[in-house]
Structure 1
Amino acid sequence: MRSFIDAVILTPGYNEWWVRRINDNTPKPSQENSQSIEEHLRVVPSELEIIRQDFERRNSELEKKIEQMEEEKMNLRLDIDEAQTRNETLEKSFSESRSEKRELRARVAEL
């Protein structure tokens, strides 16, 4: 009896039936809730990932502000250097005019 069952199982009709049976049992996608594969496989970010993204965004904003402040600082230093140079020039001309004034007073006193 065992050889009879083996012979039936190995027939081409059985193999065809078996393949059809396996394929008939595979689930077919329903048309009601059809999503694209991208939507279906899309990963929902975790709370930690959302916090990390927010941190990176705020960090980049702060880096931009720091760059702007450093540029302003450099411009202010240039303004300070220019003002100091102008001040030194004025002090020098003021001291020259004082010394000229003293010389003139000394000449007037001699006369």
Structure 2
Amino acid sequence: MSEGQHPNLAAGGGEGIGQSLWQACVDLLAQELSEQQFNTWIKPLVATVADDLSRVTIFVGNRFKLDWIRAQYASRIGAILEKLYGQSVVVELALAPREAPVRTYASP
């Protein structure tokens, strides 16, 4: 295990390694941030991790939150992911897809 690497990542590849990488990052952010900051900005985030772990796409609920995460937390998230993985990880931010509205029709 390389220095700074999270124990859950030491086993190497596997189906859930991407989610383990993201969860380890979230766990470290929970330790660094106040509970309010964490619950407001980090906890609601959803991420997908590329199979080769080189890219993490973080989905954010709206444009305001996306801009705030980019300005306040994106560089720290990238640094944590790089430390955990031991290699550079590209962090992308994207708006979470919205579910299509359900149309209801009144009975005649």
The TM-score normalised by the length of structure 1 is: 0.17
Structure of larger gyration radius: 1
Tell me which protein shows more helix as a share of its residues.
1
Structure number with the bigger relative contact order (C-alpha 8 A, sep ≥ 6) is 2
The TM-score normalised by the length of structure 2 is: 0.17
